[in-house]
Amino acid sequence: MSNKPVKLETLLSFLRAAIDHFPDQRTGNNTTYSMQDIGMAAFSVFYTQNPSFLAHQKAMRQRTGRDNTQTIFGIQQIPSDNHIRDMLDPVAPSYLSQVFDNVFETLKTQNLLSPMLWYRDNLAMAFDGTYHFSSKKIHCPNCSTTMRKDGSVTYHHSAITPVIVNPAHNVAISLAPEFVVPQDGSDKQDCETNAAKRWLEKHGDKFRKIAVTILGDDLYCRQPMCRLVLSKGFNFLFVCKPDSHKSLYRWVELLEQHGDLNQFVITRWNGKQREIYTYKYANDVPLRDTEDALTVNWMELTISKEDGQVLYKNAFATNFKITDHNVEILVAGGRSRWKVENENNNTLKTKGYNLEHNYGHGKQHLSSLLVAFNLLAFLFHTVLEWTDQDYQRLRKILPSRKTFFDDLRALTRYICFDSWQHLLDFMLKGLTRAAPG
């Protein structure tokens, strides 16, 4: 999409700079391996989607004197898995936040985010929480807990994973995560909405010069969250369900009864049958039943067949003024919130990144730090596919993510490449020769 590719070496330089600031617990004989080697070794496993990557590269180095950890990731000595876990356990995932920021700034300054701009040149940021660890035995001080009816306790970790999305593109550009962890001085367990509020407080000011719309499910459609979003200079577009917004929906019902609810219908052909899109909307309705209630603008889309069967129905609340001219694009923006699940969380869990796999839990931050490494690996691949023409060509030939990483794992196990670009060139050359015609 761009003539200004972002290369892997640039992305890795951001990560190396962050690792330079990791707390260093090495003492005595533990100083054999540098923190750079330890951090990059952990990242390389997620980037290649290969839990055995380090073991294979150790064997290659013993045979040939060089390997892909050295040539691609700049790792001078390969530490053991246990040593990596021990040294990284004290490192909070916040140490990697700057890497996400640097990637975003690079995309912005090189004008690579333009295709992601949405309504009124807003960037749409979708918020969602996702679980990445659960166990009835393994736990640490940063675990959340759930008491079961049978008296047992389940320990788990979760995080907010904000991403930039656009209804027109099947891509999700990851931003720094915020983890759900017990908060100092609080008797209550942490939760998704509190984590989202912390994210806005920590990162909101970085985006003040950009038009941003926060997307989220019904959990976010509450007055404190809406006001916080507005205070940061952002817009909001949240799912708004009847069960949790009874007062708002009473207003909508009254407007409809008096013929004051705006409505129009569009019929579309989906390639097989006609679908009827019914839009309803109302401006300046109170979000809740209090004197200080924030007024929001409400809209609803119902998609049905000609026989009346409902295929889809959902409603949203936003601060954007709704008209006949913008309701379709606003609803499309609200519906794109699912991309944080499908293009981001689902990909991380089921398409090779194995987000929910326990690579190591530790006693402090290890579990969350490894998730942050995993998110960075996904972000790096996303950016390369978004901006690098060689990577784009390769993924067009190998559209299956599974096939791409299967080939990557096999090639790096048996061949040492001089660089990431050398690996891309090798794959492109071989696949182009093998292509019919």
* Domain-terminating residue out of 317, 336, 366: 317
Could you tell me the two tokens for 324?
């006949």
Q: With respect to residue 166, please indicate whether it lies within any of the assigned structural domains.
A: no
What is the pLDDT, as a whole number, of residue 157?
Answer: 84
Could you tell me the two tokens for 150?
């049978």
On whether both 12 and 100 belong to a single domain, the answer is yes
Sign of CA dihedral 392, 396, 402, 403: negative
How far apart, in Å, are the Cα atoms of 406 and each of 16, 352, 395, 415, 423?
27, 10, 13, 14, 14
For residues 62-88, average pLDDT: 96
How far apart, in Å, are the Cα atoms of 135 and each of 122, 146, 366?
40, 10, 15
Structural domain range at position 432: 1-109+358-437
**pLDDT band per the 50, 70, 90 thresholds, residue 2:** very low
* In the block, residue with structure tokens 């579990």: 367
Cross-strand pairs, 74: none
On whether both 2 and 87 belong to a single domain, the answer is yes
* Domain-terminating residue out of 317, 338, 370: 317
Express each pLDDT in 249-277 by its tens digit: 999 999 999 999 999 999 999 889 999 99
Express each pLDDT in 214-241 by its tens digit: 999 999 999 999 999 999 999 999 999 9
pLDDT for 30 beyond 80: no
Cβ count within 10 A of residue 273: 10
On whether both 279 and 363 belong to a single domain, the answer is no
Distance (Å, whole) CA 211 – CA 229: 12
Distance (Å, whole) CA 113 – CA 2: 10
Q: Which amino acid is at 327?
A: V
Could you tell me the two tokens for 323?
């008209």
- Cα 37 to the chain's mean position, in Å? 26
On whether both 367 and 284 belong to a single domain, the answer is no
CA dihedral 367, 368, 373, 374 (to 10 degrees): 80
| DSSP labels, 279-342 | EEEEEEEESSSSTTPPEEEEEEEEEEETTS-EEEEEEEEESSPP-TTTHHHHHHHHHGGGHIII
Q: With respect to residue 56, please indicate whether it lies within any of the assigned structural domains.
A: yes
Could you tell me the two tokens for 200?
């806005």
Distance (Å, whole) CA 257 – CA 98: 52
Strands 212-216 and 123-126 turn out to be: parallel
On whether both 102 and 19 belong to a single domain, the answer is yes
On whether both 364 and 262 belong to a single domain, the answer is no
Cβ count within 10 A of residue 215: 29
Residue from 93, 112, 49 nearest 350 by CA: 49
* Domain-terminating residue out of 298, 317, 336: 317
Q: With respect to residue 207, please indicate whether it lies within any of the assigned structural domains.
A: no
Burial class (CB in 10 A: 0-12, 13-18, 19+), 370: buried
Q: With respect to residue 132, please indicate whether it lies within any of the assigned structural domains.
A: no
On whether both 31 and 94 belong to a single domain, the answer is yes
Q: With respect to residue 144, please indicate whether it lies within any of the assigned structural domains.
A: no
On whether both 304 and 390 belong to a single domain, the answer is no
Worst-scoring range by mean pLDDT, 116-120, 142-146, 413-417, 418-422?
Answer: 142-146
Phi/psi region, residue 33 (left: phi>0; alpha: psi -120 to 50; beta: rest), is beta
Counting every residue written for the chain, the total comes to 437
Express each pLDDT in 166-221 by its tens digit: 999 888 999 999 999 888 766 688 899 999 999 999 999 999 889 999 999 999 99
pLDDT for 343 beyond 60: no
Q: Which amino acid is at 390?
A: D
Q: With respect to residue 424, please indicate whether it lies within any of the assigned structural domains.
A: yes
Rg (CA), the chain: 24
On whether both 293 and 366 belong to a single domain, the answer is no
On whether both 2 and 104 belong to a single domain, the answer is yes
What is the pLDDT, as a whole number, of residue 339?
Answer: 59
Number of domains into which the chain is organized: 2
On whether both 286 and 362 belong to a single domain, the answer is no
Q: With respect to residue 308, please indicate whether it lies within any of the assigned structural domains.
A: yes
Q: With respect to residue 165, please indicate whether it lies within any of the assigned structural domains.
A: no
What is the pLDDT, as a whole number, of residue 3?
Answer: 54
Express each pLDDT in 320-331 by its tens digit: 999 999 999 999
On whether both 98 and 3 belong to a single domain, the answer is yes
pLDDT for 305 beyond 90: yes
